[in-house]
Amino acid sequence: MNPEQLTIALPKGKLLEPALKLLFDLDLPIDGVNDKSRRLVFDFPDSKVQYIVCRPTDVPTYVEHGAADLGIVGKDIIMDQDKDVYEMADLGFGYCRFVLAVPEEKADRPLTDFNYQRVATKFPRVAEAFFRELGLQVEVIKLHGNIELAPRVGLAEMIVDIVSTGKTLKENFLAEKASIAECTARVVVNRVSYRTKYRVIEPMIRRINEIVNDGSGRE
Amino acid sequence: MKNWEIVKGAKDFLPLEAAMKRAFENRAVETFTRWGYREVITPTFEYLEVIEAGAGQGIRDELFLLQDQDGRLLALRPEMTIPIARIVSTRFRDFEGVLRLFYNANIFRHAQPQMGRYQEFYQLGVELIGASGAMADAEVIALAAEVLKQEGLEYKISLNHIGIFNNLLQHSGLNESTRNGIKQLVLKKDLVGLKKMLSGLPMAPELREVMLEMPLVYGTPQVLNRLEAVKEIPGVQEAINELIEVYDHLAAYNIQDDVVIDLGILRGFDYYTGIIFEGYSPQLGYPLLGGGRYDNLLAKFGPPRVATGFAVGIERVLLALKGRNCTPREVYEVSGNDAAAVLAKARELREQGLIVTVDLLNRGGDGEVVVKRRAQR
């Protein structure tokens, strides 16, 4: 870790564009940064900054180990990983919710009816923590995608997933049973970098909070 | 499972790594010894009650538990301060004055496999028992700095006093479960969550502001002026004074430039009561060492006694060193078909302090003893 140089981990996918807009607002270079090419590292030595464009779920790992000094990632991913990083700013964009959904015909049943049943999810920690808080025991089945199919094919009785509009739930005859948490994109910072690169990172976080709170970014 | 698998989160040290580890340990132990600290060795396992009495029941998720033949629960030690507190309270029960102890031990913490953390790791550390006051805190911090400095590492020590945060929380007028919630968020470094939680709570606005800003207070003692609005709260001014006093003592140890007031560090164990600190190097993304004052722990095992100490993570220092501080040594290999002559030559060279091996594979030759020099692989 060179004390002058800053490495920022950026998530591929739908958060990349608003993340780049934020970097632009911070007067950082973003020319040519994208997730379409096979390039993963974008280096701007003149501005003393480097970006690692990686899978969203890997952002907290890069930051925890100090391979990146800071990163931009959704709260949904942070919640499911329990990494040792500073969560320093709420960026407001990338809104989604964690919900518990069940087949429409069971939507009126009390939650206790789902005790000892199976829940399919991409986010096993979030699902487990939610049911543990309620004093319920469930079997968590970890899937990597198409969670909403699980009840239809008899893999699970319910799902814990992120939704933004709720359209996918409806298409699969599922109904929201409980809202677990609301999530937006966050800035996470390595605990050592925050200290060894304090002179660069501290003003940057302050500026980010200004941009998010009063929209004082560049036009 | 294959029969050659190694347990997740466990590690083999091959000769080169083991040599680097041993070399670092020797240098640290030499320094501890010169500062008057003496080694203690404790059992790898303790009764579960001992560990829980020291660290609280919250530690249980992190423990490796086993059962002895009588059905009692044992835990592999998750740190060394508790076993030493137990020793001091029993074996040094009637000792008066100041005790300086050090240890070099393997530590066990159960971790979720996906976390990618070691479940067995090594710590060197000291405990200074029976002395309160800034001189004692400064001694332990200076010793910690010395261990990093003598390795040639670039480092910074972050310094805090747990009394500031604890007293703010204690006198916040909030109920216990809310206070625990706040503490968890601060420990998890979730400043966004903290802001959301505090903004909904009935508390004095200046207290809210300070609690939000505290994790970010970092710099010379001037930054403590940012606590101006809350220093009337009982215990806060005393904690600030102690912090400044220790910082001033560190000037006499010539390490003040490497020490930063940092109200963002709050160590994980509940037993800390005063000054706490962590050591960092820009070469590594996590702290190299940590410690602090724990004046109430010994009373859980025997007579109350004040104490402070620190532990350094050996693997972490080795990672930050990246293979430095360990020069490969030369080996002398003695060959020949006259065994008596070969062994005599080997003995002669060993007596000179050289590293000598006897060639066991090529015993031919014409009776002459041959000595070859090579780098150790």
Chain B hits for A87, CB-CB cut-off 8 Å, are 188-193
How would you classify the pairing of strands B65-67 and B73-76? antiparallel
One fold for A6-94+185-214 and A96-183: yes
Percent of chain B with pLDDT over 90: 69
Containing H/E element for B157?
strand B156-161
Q: Three-state SS across A87-134?
A: EEEECCCCCEEEEEEEEHHHCCCCHHHHCCCEEEECCHHHHHHHHHHC
CB burial readout B313-352, b (16+ within 10 A) else e = bbebbbbbbeeebbeeeeebbbbbeeeeebeebbeeeeee
| Separation of alpha carbons A150 and A152, rounded Å | 6
Cross-chain Cβ contact A196/B282 below 8 Å: yes
Q: Which residue, among B157, B177, B188, B192, would best test binding to A if mutated, counting the most A CBs under 10 Å from its CB? A: B192
Q: Which residues of A touch B (CB under 8 A)?
A: 1, 3, 61, 64-67, 75, 82, 84-90, 186, 190-196, 198, 202
Contact predicate B118/B315, CB 8 Å? yes
Q: Three-state SS across B44-103?
A: CEEEHHHHHHHHCHHHHHHCCEEECCCCCEEEECCCCHHHHHHHHHHHCCCCCCCEEEEE
For residue B113, the model assigns a pLDDT of 61
Q: Which residue has the tokens 């960026």?
A: A91
For residue B351, the model assigns a pLDDT of 97
Option in A67, A84, A87 nearest B191 (CB): A87
Q: Which residue, among B153, B154, B190, B262, would best test binding to A if mutated, counting the most A CBs under 10 Å from its CB? A: B190
Q: At residue B114, does pLDDT exceed 80?
A: no
Cross-chain Cβ contact B285/A190 below 8 Å: yes
Phi, psi of B293 (to 5 degrees): -90, 135
CA distances to B63, B336, B338, B370 from B366, rounded to whole Å, are 62, 7, 9, 10
- The tokens for A165 are 């509009």
Chain B hits for A67, CB-CB cut-off 8 Å, are 285
- The tokens for B85 are 């507190």
Cross-chain Cβ contact B218/A202 below 8 Å: yes
Distance from CA of A107 to the nearest CA of B (A): 30
- The tokens for A203 are 């003003």
| Separation of alpha carbons A206 and A65, rounded Å | 24
Tabulate helix, strand, coil % of chain A (nearest 5).
35, 30, 40
For residue A16, the model assigns a pLDDT of 96
Angle (nearest 5°) at CA B361 between B355 and B362 = 95
Cross-chain Cβ contact A64/B193 below 8 Å: no
Mean pLDDT to the nearest integer, B163-188: 89
Reply yes or no on domain A96-183 having CATH 3.30.10.20.
no
Mean pLDDT to the nearest integer, A155-162: 94
For residue B186, the model assigns a pLDDT of 86
Q: At residue A3, does pLDDT exceed 60?
A: no
How would you classify the pairing of strands B99-108 and B73-76? unpaired
For residue B363, the model assigns a pLDDT of 66
Q: Which residues of B touch A (CB under 8 A)?
A: 115-116, 156, 158, 188-193, 195, 215-216, 218, 260, 262, 264, 280-287
Share the mean pLDDT of chain B.
91
Option in B195, B215, B286 nearest A192 (CB): B286
Cross-chain Cβ contact B280/A190 below 8 Å: no
Greater model confidence, A161 or B366: A161
DSSP assignment, residue A176? E
Option in B191, B195, B280 nearest A192 (CB): B280
For residue B56, the model assigns a pLDDT of 86
**Cα A81 to the chain's mean position, in Å?**
10
| Separation of alpha carbons A177 and A74, rounded Å | 23
For residue B365, the model assigns a pLDDT of 64
Q: At residue B19, does pLDDT exceed 60?
A: yes
Where does A6-94+185-214 sit in CATH, by number?
3.40.190.10
Distance from CA of B156 to the nearest CA of A (A): 8
Contact predicate B39/B102, CB 8 Å? yes
DSSP assignment, residue B245? H
| Separation of alpha carbons A4 and A205, rounded Å | 16
Chain B hits for A75, CB-CB cut-off 8 Å, are 192
pLDDT digits 0-9 by tens, B273-293: 999 999 999 888 889 999 999
Q: At residue B377, does pLDDT exceed 70?
A: no
Q: Name the residue of chain B whose CA is nearest to A196's CA.
A: B282
Mean pLDDT to the nearest integer, B47-60: 91
* pLDDT band of A1, cuts 50, 70, 90: very low
Q: Which residue, among A62, A192, A212, would best test binding to B if mutated, counting the most B CBs under 10 Å from its CB? A: A192
Count of A–B CB contacts within 8 Å?
A: 60
Contacts 24+ apart (CB under 8 A), A105-113: A106/A157, A107/A175, A107/A177, A111/A136, A111/A177, A111/A178, A112/A136
pLDDT digits 0-9 by tens, B178-214: 998 898 888 888 999 999 999 988 888 889 999 998 8
Cross-chain Cβ contact B192/A190 below 8 Å: no
Q: Name the residue of chain B whose CA is nearest to A206's CA.
A: B216
Contact predicate B165/B266, CB 8 Å? yes
Q: Name the residue ranges covered by the structural domains of chain A.
A: 6-94+185-214, 96-183
Q: Name the residue of chain B whose CA is nearest to A63's CA.
A: B285
Option in B115, B193, B285 nearest A66 (CB): B285
Q: Name the residue ranges covered by the structural domains of chain B.
A: 15-321, 331-374
Q: Nearest-CA neighbor of B143 among B255, B248, B41?
A: B255
State in words which class domain B15-321 has. alpha beta
| Separation of alpha carbons A80 and B301, rounded Å | 38
Mean pLDDT to the nearest integer, B28-41: 98
Terminal-to-terminal C-alpha distance of chain B: 32
ipTM surpasses 0.95: no
For residue B266, the model assigns a pLDDT of 85
Q: Name the residue of chain A whose CA is nearest to B116's CA.
A: A61
